[in-house]
Amino acid sequence: MEYNSSNFLLETIVPSEELIVSRTDLKGNITYVNDTFAEISGYEANELIGNPHSIVRHPDMPKAIFSDLWKELETKGKWSGYVKNLRKDQGYYWVYAEISEVHKDGKLVEYKSIRTPMSFEKKVEYQVKYDQLKLTSGELIRHVSYTEYKK
């Protein structure tokens, strides 16, 4: 049997007893990930560090969510929300993410993010919400098709 695509759209479930942690510079380039982040995203830590955090951006995420994120970080110094992320193998994982500032000697030096799991109901709610947001803002939305298996 053959697949016409190498994308296995499987969900990785975030364990409830572990936190997914990353830090970025002020432009959003990854400076640190914990082991759980690497494991859940399917990357080695050294493949993530130095890259923009958008390396795990999932195409289902509406642009507006990230423009709000950066606006709120600049004005309030923190942001929290629900995010669908893309794994290296093209699978995905949902998280509730909290981002905040890291200060050193009174100066803003980095941002850090701590992520925890979401309930099944929240994932469904946010998938629908984000699809609608993408449709109303004219962004492309996901289309999954299954080709018939012919003997």
Ligand X SMILES: Cc1cc2nc3c(=O)[nH]c(=O)nc-3n(C[C@H](O)[C@H](O)[C@H](O)COP(=O)(O)O)c2cc1C
Please compute, for residue 49, the number of CA atoms within 13 A of its CA located in the half-sphere on the CB side: 10
Q: What torsion, rounded to 10 degrees, do the Cα atoms 36, 37, 42, 48 define?
A: -140
Q: How far is the CB of 96 from ligand X (least distance, A)?
A: 11
Q: Binding to ligand X by residue 123, rule CB under 6 A? A: no
Q: How far is the CB of 144 from ligand X (least distance, A)?
A: 20
**SS3 of residue 110 by DSSP:** strand
Long-range CB contacts (within 8 A, 24+) of 2-6? 4/147, 6/90
Segment 23-82, which members bind ligand X (CB under 6 A)? 24, 28, 53-54, 56-57, 61, 66, 69
Choice between 69 and 118, CB closer to ligand X: 69
- Chain residues in the site for ligand X (CB under 6 A): 22, 24, 28, 53-54, 56-57, 61, 66, 69, 83, 85, 97, 99, 111-113
